[in-house]
Amino acid sequence: MKIVVNVDVMMAKRKISSNELAERVGITPANLSVLKTGKAKAIRFSTLMAICHELKCQPGDILEFIDDPEE
């Protein structure tokens, strides 16, 4: 089981760069990169809300649960 982060997909759809999104959300580009690559262990609801606000999407548009039978 894992959570897949699709922030990069939504960013491409909205034509927004990592640096621009990070600045608008109030996080560092490095922290956004950690989130985009799936290496983050947690995300604050306030950060998730800010990302959803800027990308005009729902949390389910950027976070996906995958039930991996191999795990």
pTM of the model: 0.88
- The token duo for 36 is 């985009």
- Locate the domains of the chain by residue range: 2-66
Q: What is the mean pLDDT of residues 17-42?
A: 95
CATH number of 2-66: 1.10.260.40
Q: Look at residue 45 in the predicted model and tell me its pLDDT.
A: 96
Q: Look at residue 20 in the predicted model and tell me its pLDDT.
A: 97
Q: What is the largest CA-CA distance in the chain?
A: 38
Q: What is the mean pLDDT of residues 45-59?
A: 97
Burial code of 34-45, b = ≥16 C-beta within 10 A, e = fewer? Answer: bbbeeeeeebee
pLDDT bracket for residue 29 (50, 70, 90): very high
pLDDT bracket for residue 71 (50, 70, 90): low
Q: What is the mean pLDDT of residues 5-13?
A: 96
